[in-house]
Chains A and B, each alone.
Chain A
Amino acid sequence: MELFEARNVNKVFASTQALTDVSISVKEQSIFGLLGPNGAGKTTLIRIINQITAPDSGEIFLNGRKMNRTDISHIGYLPEERGLYKKMKIGEQAIYLAQLKGMSYRDASNNLKKWFEKFDIMPWWNKKVEELSKGMQQKVQFITTVVHQPKLLIFDEPFSGFDPINANLLKKEILNLKAEGATIIFSTHNMGSVEELCDHIALINKSKKIEDGPTDEIRMKYKTNIFDIKYRGEFREIDLALGTDYKIISHDESDKANTLKVQYMNGKSNNELLSSIMPAAEILAFEELIPSMNDVFIKAVEESNKN
């Protein structure tokens, strides 16, 4: 079931088109990656979802209903540009921000204490933000984003400013939140984390959506039919057997095993490749190379820029 949906959203700033007919839909309890180069329109879309800016045309739905102003208490938003009140004590500040999201003082205080314990920052409850390290400020900011148990979470570059250990902690928490039922929209340039976390992605370039689908499918779509093959036998035999229908990208013969990277042209299939090789050598491993999200990103954007 779709928790969130944007239909044909358009937005123009002065003379620049920020979003052109963008539609996305996000399944409940999934992580949705919103990707795109800088200036593509991701932040604009996120701000429209948060009701910070209004779209020129198009509609936004939450839980099947048209979204209105009161729905923003069901959203938790961690913007790319972080910030807290520097002179305010973090505990007091976190409670204030949670109250603005509609929590009562008591609930806010109780929930926050749990989170502060979890992130190991309880001793800093009464410290001012300016006394905290950047990493600790990021933790506070993350907590204030999730403390009111929103149905929809929007993280814009959540890992920036975290060291690898804390980034891992955060990753774990994000997956936890999903397991507990939250739906997450996740915008980042860190493609590694997209592969790890996202169930579904949409790629935006120059205000238009150029790609949309489950992460695995998208990667499969961009695969170039390249295989890593481990074999025992003679390379010459294989080369001969494959003939001109296949392109050998590289091969390597070492003591332990011989490896080969080969690509087939369109019209062939995995099995055909396999059956062509089999008579020439003993296959030890046969693995299709799925492009990384990074490759997909670059390829998709470059292709879209050509058109």
Chain B
Amino acid sequence: MNNTLLILKQEYLKRVKKKSFIILTILMPFLIAGVYGLVIYFSIKDDTEERTIAVYDATNLFLGEFSEEGTTSYHFIPKNEYETLKTNLKGSGYYGLLFIPSDIYSNNQAQLFSEKQLPFELTEQIERKLSRFIENDKRQKVIEESGIPDLEERLSKTRTSVNLSTLKVSQSGETKKSSSVVAFIASYAMGLLIYFFVFMYGAMVMRSVMEEKKSRIIEVIISSVKPSQLMAGKIIGTALVGLTQVAIWLVLGGIGLVVVQSFFFTPESAQQMGQSIMESQGQMNPAAMQAAQPNQVKEVMEMIGNLNLPLILFAFVFYFLAGYLLYSALLGAVGAAVDNDEDSQQMVFPVTFPLILSIMLLFPIAKNPEGPLAFWCSIIPFTSPVAMMARVPYEIPVWELLLSMGLLVLTTIVCIMAAAKIYRIGLLMYGKKVNIKELIKWLRYKG
């Protein structure tokens, strides 16, 4: 036991003291936050490029409609200039050339010439201007023909937007505001996290075993400790590295959340942000947006709070540990069985296939967490760490969770025993091409 502890300590310290671990652990949250920050920044940020669009309006109706908007300005040109520009846009200084044909009212078609790929915002802006003008014009005519002077007002009052808020009724009859979107995101994120952790740390165990075998130190080590002690120390030590990483991230995340909440999500700033998003997107229905916006951030926070966080955290640690133990034992056995990198790649695939399958099925599972696919994947032990983790945010029946956990624990124990045997035999086996059939033969060896 003492030896297991020594190995555990050695493996743990070796990894935790590595620069790459420190950098990855500290940097990762910032990296993720940074990427999201950038995405948000760019979507809010004003487009600063100055553009001038030349407009030839064959209808002579739109002159007033195309005023400057943002950084885009419009310059109306006569027909002859249009003809020359059309063939010679380059070097003219115009960003694009808009042609409004005389039959736009009946055809709803206009043309925008440009040398470059036009930003989506710009085409959308022009389309909106044209559509709005024509729509208003046509509506005006309808109003005039109908003889009802306040028709416009009355029609606008009929405009409706229904907001569906989803409420979850728990077994005790309590209703909680939940959001299928929030649950979906949590579900997907949890599944992904488990997948990455199990894969990353499982592979770490495998590489560590291979390194010992390749460098031949293994013979010295197992003349001092039992292979099972070595494997246990290695696996537990590496698991602790993973948990250390999660703990650091939780602390950093907690600090980050507090900082973000206190600095950015004051009511005013939320409103401001909402408005700026609205403006930049040029929403058609400002009235509905305005009502929804200020509360949205608060509501999302509330919905996150309504997820069963202790259960999720517990399930995460459980499925991480069990899934990791299962796969790292198998990968450790693979590492012991092979003695070169090419062979290991061939062997890793069949072993990790269920894990890869579960990540491929993660999207349908997270989308329909009560369906048969989700059910079976979360019960079958090799896929359950990812699949069940994806279902946990949806508050699934307790018996399913217990069944899944029980089966996973049983399978893990059986696999560890099998892996230990392969490990012990494989460690000193050199120069032999190993395949699955061979490994199964090893399992039948005695002693």
Contact = CB atoms under 8 A, between A and B. Distances in A.
Interface of A: 47, 50-54, 56, 69, 72-73, 75, 77, 79, 81-86, 88, 96-97, 99-101, 141, 144-145
Residue of B217, B222, B428 with highest tally of chain A CB at under 10 A: B217
Interface in B211-236: 211-212, 215-226
Residue of B14, B215, B219, B447 with highest tally of chain A CB at under 10 A: B219
B219 A81 contact: yes
B413 interface: no
Contact of B216 (A47, A50, A81, A144): A81
Nearest to B3: A100
Contacts of B211: 85-86
The DSSP consensus for interface residues of chain B is helix
A53 B10 CA distance: 25
Given A47-B428, A52-B428, A77-B223, A83 B6 contact: no
The 7 closest A-B pairs by CB, nearest first: A83-B216, A83-B217, A100-B224, A83-B215, A50-B223, A79-B219, A81-B216
Given A47-B428, A56-B447, A97 B215 contact: no
A84 B217 contact: yes
A283 B71 CA distance: 121
Interface string B19-33: 000000000000000
7 contacts: A52-B222, A75-B223, A83-B218, A85-B212, A85-B217, A86-B215, A100-B6
A211 B10 CA distance: 45
Contacts of A100: 3, 6-7, 221, 224-225
A51 B10 CA distance: 23
Contact of B219 (A56, A72, A83, A96): A83
Nearest to A93: B217
Contacts of B7: 100
A72 B220 contact: no
Contacts of A85: 211-212, 215, 217
A73 B220 CA distance: 12
B443 to A, nearest CB: 13
Contacts of A88: 14
B26 to A, nearest CB: 22
Contact of A97 (B14, B216, B219, B224): B224
A53 B445 CA distance: 12
A52 B223 contact: yes
A53 B3 CA distance: 19
Given A84-B215, A85-B215, A100-B225, 9 more contacts: A79-B216, A81-B219, A85-B211, A97-B221, A100-B3, A100-B6, A100-B221, A101-B224, A141-B220
B215 A79 contact: no
B441 to A, nearest CB: 8
A101 B219 CA distance: 13
Nearest to A96: B10
A54 B6 contact: no
A248 B256 CA distance: 98
A196 to B, nearest CB: 26
A96 B6 contact: yes
A5 to B, nearest CB: 19
B219 A52 contact: yes
A130 to B, nearest CB: 10
A77 B225 CA distance: 13
Contact of A54 (B219, B221, B447): B447
A103 to B, nearest CB: 11
Given A52-B428, A83-B216, A72 B447 contact: no
A173 B61 CA distance: 106
B220 A77 contact: yes
Contacts of A72: 223-224
Nearest to A49: B223
A144 B447 CA distance: 29
Nearest to A54: B447
A39 B223 CA distance: 21
Nearest to B7: A100
Given A56-B447, A100-B3, A69 B226 contact: yes
Contacts of A141: 220
A73 B224 CA distance: 7
Interface in B236-279: none
Contacts of A96: 6, 10
A50 B428 CA distance: 13
A41 to B, nearest CB: 14
B71 to A, nearest CB: 55
Interface in B365-402: none
A77 B222 CA distance: 10
Contacts of A79: 216, 219-220, 223
B176 to A, nearest CB: 52
A100 B223 CA distance: 10
B195 to A, nearest CB: 28
A190 B236 CA distance: 43
Contacts of B10: 96
Nearest to B10: A96
Contacts of A101: 224
A107 to B, nearest CB: 14
Nearest to B229: A100
Contacts of A54: 447
Contacts of A56: 447
A144 B220 contact: yes
A27 B225 CA distance: 26
